[in-house]
Structure 1
């Protein structure tokens, strides 16, 4: 039997990942809704009347207003005149990017894959923000929107994405008043992650970098002969006594994070480490409390 070519294996792997993402999406959407409902919110952003595209509410017509403002269809339902108000068009914009690359499929024990945690957090945060009057977009996939079905819209755009996701967000230019939330494991070279933060912050946008990791990636609980493989490039490394690597691994991990944290703090961004054995609600609350705080949370980049 002819050996499968690397290109064919890549296509097959992509198809399996896409099928897995599609099948998991309804469950993740429901989980995000549940978590968002359990987190107290309302501190960030307020819906208000103004000039915009989206309907907000009806209110009573006030004397002295132009008659052209009356919504006659709504007013015909009872004895009062009503005006159709739209949402304030200057709502805050938040860009949320979840890393869906192959390395995010990693999970140990009964814990959820990192990809699922990134998606659930992205959806739940978007739901909270839109309910608070903000606009949410996904870099490279979806323009900012205040649609009340924001979770479903995000899910649809991710499922229908035309190509494999990258390990870092696509280049884009957030406005100076925008905020950026990056959710991934960030195992790319630290210099590349730092460069991406610098590029996104160059226009003045505030941001939050969330490194989502499986506990095994923190503690390196391996021993004996172990074969490690790169889920993205396919490189393999076999070691005899894995436990002898533990100290070196911890040192390299600390160095890697120090570069990312330094870049984040330099631009007033926050850096958060989240393990998948911790509840998603803890991360959601931590992020939500930081929104709009600028660099206030940058130095407190611990576990969440």
Structure 2
């Protein structure tokens, strides 16, 4: 994860051959890739969208006289809205995200690859992408993607748990938060409410390892946080299972609730599942916020 070129290569491999990753669904992949241009609403642009009946207040120059001449009414030629949008990504790089079990990748590795793959697809569609918490405001182009890969692949001191900040995000933009959301929920709630107040719509991607869902521990067990600052030893780990699962369920329901009241969308992704499924859902969810 410390090699930015490798991280970007893996993210591009996830984004580019979307048809193969979805069992050869080439038509669906083309729809997703072209969806960045398919905003399907009127506005400034060069691509024709549709004709609509002329209404009071329309300028004479906006009337398509050739089309109108084939009918009894006047019609206006609408162009498809193509203004670039800003999409800000927050990818949790805390120590908690380094956890992995079995053959599954680390939560942080999966989060970084999927988030960067989303950025690549959005950039291909002409959108501006950036990273919050890394002094990377939204821009387009290969250099921006390289900078994002370097930021996501960099190693350094990290807290046990991460928290997003909305104040670095442009008003009326879109946002993606990717995390295990295992830390204090208050900063997440604050960031979501602030974002909603500023007209920022977005998506929460909750990334968990299957072992975190199952809690397969019993007997004498020593639980240690990934950063080593939290340690708990018990002789009866099985007795903690019900309470742990209840709290995890409460956390997921709280995130769903916060998404509902702020107009965001929420999805849960397990690291042993296909990254392509998370990518497809994320891209579609962000497009719906366009």
TM-score range, shorter chain: 0.7 to 0.9
1:122, distance to aligned residue in structure 2 (A): 1.3
| Contact kept? 2:99, 2:107, Cα under 8 Å | yes
Answering whether residue 103 of structure 2 is matched by residue 114 of structure 1, we say no
Q: Distance in 2 between matches of 1:163 and 1:90?
A: 38
Aligned equivalent of 1:127: 120
Aligned to 2:287, what secondary structure does the other structure show? coil
Answering whether residue 145 of structure 2 is matched by residue 151 of structure 1, we say yes
Structure 2 CA distance for partners of 1:149 and 1:49, relative to 1, 3 Å: farther
Q: Distance in 2 between matches of 1:290 and 1:219?
A: 28
Answering whether residue 35 of structure 2 is matched by residue 43 of structure 1, we say yes
Answering whether residue 230 of structure 2 is matched by residue 235 of structure 1, we say yes
| Contact kept? 1:94, 1:136, Cα under 8 Å | yes
1:241, distance to aligned residue in structure 2 (A): 1.7
Q: Distance in 1 between matches of 2:157 and 2:230?
A: 22
| Contact kept? 1:131, 1:148, Cα under 8 Å | no
Q: Distance in 1 between matches of 2:186 and 2:133?
A: 22
TM-score (norm 1): 0.71
| Contact kept? 1:44, 1:291, Cα under 8 Å | no
72, 79, 90: which one pairs with 1:97? 90
1:27, distance to aligned residue in structure 2 (A): 2.7
Q: Distance in 2 between matches of 1:288 and 1:164?
A: 28
Aligned to 1:22, what secondary structure does the other structure show? coil
Q: Which runs of 5+ in 2 are unaligned?
A: 19-28, 47-80
Answering whether residue 22 of structure 2 is matched by residue 22 of structure 1, we say no
Q: Which runs of 5+ in 1 are unaligned?
A: 1-20, 51-87, 296-304
Q: How does 1:1-304 map to 2 (within 5 A)?
A: 21-23=1-3, 25-39=4-18, 40=29, 41-45=33-37, 90-141=83-134, 142-159=136-153, 164=158, 167-232=162-227, 234-294=229-289
Q: Map Cα deviations across residues 102-126 of structure 1 (whole Å, 9 max, x no partner).
A: 0000000111000100110111000
1:49, distance to aligned residue in structure 2 (A): 7.0
Q: Distance in 2 between matches of 1:163 and 1:172?
A: 22
Structure 2 CA distance for partners of 1:289 and 1:246, relative to 1, 3 Å: same
1:257, distance to aligned residue in structure 2 (A): 1.6
Cα-Cα RMSD: 2.6
| Contact kept? 2:95, 2:158, Cα under 8 Å | no
Q: Distance in 1 between matches of 2:157 and 2:236?
A: 39
Structure 2 CA distance for partners of 1:223 and 1:160, relative to 1, 3 Å: closer
| Contact kept? 1:46, 1:133, Cα under 8 Å | no
| Contact kept? 1:182, 1:209, Cα under 8 Å | yes
Q: Distance in 2 between matches of 1:251 and 1:160?
A: 35
| Contact kept? 2:176, 2:205, Cα under 8 Å | yes
| Contact kept? 2:112, 2:152, Cα under 8 Å | no
Aligned to 1:175, what secondary structure does the other structure show? coil
| Contact kept? 1:45, 1:129, Cα under 8 Å | no
Structure 2 CA distance for partners of 1:245 and 1:268, relative to 1, 3 Å: same
Aligned to 2:84, what secondary structure does the other structure show? coil
